[in-house]
Amino acid sequence: MKWDALEEEPCSLARTIGVIGDRWSLLILRECFLRTRRFEGFQSALGITRHLLAERLKKLVRQGVLRRIPYQESPKRHEYILTQKGLDLYPVMMALVHWGDTHMVDERGRPLLHEHRKCGKTFDPVMICSECGEPLLAKEVHTHPGPGARSASAKLPPPDKPAKPKTRKQAAA
Amino acid sequence: MKWDALEEEPCSLARTIGVIGDRWSLLILRECFLRTRRFEGFQSALGITRHLLAERLKKLVRQGVLRRIPYQESPKRHEYILTQKGLDLYPVMMALVHWGDTHMVDERGRPLLHEHRKCGKTFDPVMICSECGEPLLAKEVHTHPGPGARSASAKLPPPDKPAKPKTRKQAAA
DNA sequence: TCATACAGTTCTAAAAACGAACTGTCAATA
DNA sequence: TATTGACAGTTCGTTTTTAGAACTGTATGA
């Protein structure tokens, strides 16, 4: 698996990782969702080196996650805003935040709370099935190769049956 | 922002990235959800170097995402299985896969389809509000500092209001 | 004229990842 | 008995990325 060819993998997870799966991209995107739009804003919020920041922004623009829009002539200045493709990463961000809220909080509790304007309540994100509306559990999901499948690999089914202990007599324990 | 102190950031997203935000961890976890449990299995499925694989597995065990369980004595052999903390990453995986399915497919379509056993249908994951059940949109979510907040940073609100063009007269365009 | 804001680029050093070979235990095979 | 292979790593030299700091260039306001 090569990093410059991750997008050609017949796996949507690998392809997504090819776009946002490096050390900085998700943090840059966090800042985007926080309404940061300019180079200096990202740099000072994250402490990323200017060199890397320039590289990552270029990559995210190239991938269509951000759009680079001029906001001033002479000197030419641009700002980076989320495209729809970028906005569609919101569930990814929320899933990551929710996992951190669940498993990585210290004794003081969550760094922040989310309020849903529609209902006015503090909520957690829940992932459901688009067809029946039930919450998704790994064990209840089964996968089949789709039209874009390339081989027997590239699936993400749930973990259920234990690995068979091989033909070794010591396989007890 | 330093990589060895990401877990101390007052941001659940940063903390989560500190655990799974490197080049390989999510791919290793994909294999875990695919029921791969052993060193050689990960190695051959991913093409990761053995050195890095050993490192990453150790880290994931240390973080409580995987558990290392002996399956054979002499020579001692272990397998790596998802803990509940690891299983809880399922929504993260599904969110990433769904984004890839939406934005990174080629003309042949999705590499794989997901079937929900409960309802028997091919589905997409949808993220909803735990309180009112409505699908979550970035624009409808507002954040407040929680008890674990450390400063004015560390939030993940929706992008809505445009950046103000600063006090520069050329700010047209 | 000088300091400052902004958005980068360039350079070197340090850290991480890659690739290939090597270690050690045991089982099955010749 | 010697040999081979499975398995789960470790070691080591090379290449790639990242970090850190300084530098470039336009333009503004003092």
Question: pLDDT tens digit string along B53-86?
Answer: 999 999 999 999 999 999 998 889 999 999 999 9
Determine whether the interchain pair B27/A13 forms a contact, defined as Cβ–Cβ distance below 8 Å: yes
Neighbour-count burial of A33, counting CB atoms closer than 10 A to its CB (0-12 exposed, 13-18 middle, 19+ buried): buried
Contacts of A135 by beta carbon, 8 Å cutoff, 6+ apart: A126, A127, A128, A129
> What is the pLDDT, as a whole number, of residue B151?
56
Q: Kindly report the nearest CA distance between residue A35 and chain B, in angstroms.
A: 5
State percent of chain A over pLDDT 70.
87
What's the pLDDT tens digit per position in B20-41? Answer: 999 999 999 999 999 999 999 9
Contact B148, A108 (CB under 8 A): yes
Mean pLDDT, rounded, for A55-83: 96
Neighbouring C-alpha atoms within 13 Å toward the C-beta of A140: 16
Q: What is the mean pLDDT of chain B?
A: 88
> What is the pLDDT, as a whole number, of residue B156?
45
Contact B143, A113 (CB under 8 A): yes
Residue B7 has pLDDT above 90, yes or no: no
Mean pLDDT, rounded, for A124-142: 96
Question: Which of these, A119, A99, A118, lies nearest to A110 by C-alpha position?
Answer: A99
Q: CA of B131: how far to CAs of A103, A119, A123, in Å?
A: 21, 8, 6
Please count the other Cβ atoms lying within 10 Å of the Cβ belonging to residue B168.
10
Best of B8, B53, B62, B114 to substitute, by most chain A Cβ atoms within 10 angstroms, is B114
**Chain B: residue nearest A84 by CA?**
B103
Determine whether the interchain pair B123/A131 forms a contact, defined as Cβ–Cβ distance below 8 Å: yes
Nucleotide closest in space to B78 (CA vs C1'): D8
Model confidence at B5, in pLDDT bands (50, 70, 90)?
confident
Please count the other Cβ atoms lying within 10 Å of the Cβ belonging to residue B44.
11
Determine whether the interchain pair B173/A13 forms a contact, defined as Cβ–Cβ distance below 8 Å: no
> What is the pLDDT, as a whole number, of residue B162?
40
State percent of chain A over pLDDT 90.
79
Better-predicted residue by pLDDT, A151 or B75: B75
Confidence (pTM): 0.89
Mean pLDDT, rounded, for B5-22: 94
Tokens of B136: 């979550």
**Chain B: residue nearest A85 by CA?**
B103
Determine whether the interchain pair B10/A111 forms a contact, defined as Cβ–Cβ distance below 8 Å: yes
Q: Kindly report the nearest CA distance between residue B145 and chain A, in angstroms.
A: 4
Q: Kindly report the nearest CA distance between residue B37 and chain A, in angstroms.
A: 7
H/E segment holding residue A59: helix A50-62
Which bases of strand C have any atom within 7 Å of the beta carbon of a protein residue? 5-11, 16-21, 24-28
CA of A166 to C1' of C30 (A): 23
Model confidence at A122, in pLDDT bands (50, 70, 90)?
very high
Which bases of strand D have any atom within 7 Å of the beta carbon of a protein residue? 6-12, 17-22, 25-29
Residue B173 has pLDDT above 60, yes or no: no
> What is the pLDDT, as a whole number, of residue A173?
30
Question: Which of these, B162, B26, B89, B22, lies nearest to A104 by C-alpha position?
Answer: B89
Contacts of B170 by beta carbon, 8 Å cutoff, 6+ apart: A72, A73, A74
Mean pLDDT, rounded, for A58-66: 98
Model confidence at A150, in pLDDT bands (50, 70, 90)?
confident
Model confidence at A151, in pLDDT bands (50, 70, 90)?
low
Residue A68 has pLDDT above 80, yes or no: yes
> What is the pLDDT, as a whole number, of residue B172?
36
What's the pLDDT tens digit per position in B85-102? Answer: 999 999 999 999 999 999
Residue A170 has pLDDT above 70, yes or no: no
The residue whose CA lies nearest the C1' of nucleotide C5 is A40
Determine whether the interchain pair A112/B27 forms a contact, defined as Cβ–Cβ distance below 8 Å: no
Which of A37, A109, A138 lies closest to B147 in CB terms? A109
Determine whether the interchain pair B87/A171 forms a contact, defined as Cβ–Cβ distance below 8 Å: no
Q: Kindly report the nearest CA distance between residue B121 and chain A, in angstroms.
A: 7
Q: What is the DSSP string of B118-129?
A: TTTEE--EEEEE
Nucleotide closest in space to A23 (CA vs C1'): D18
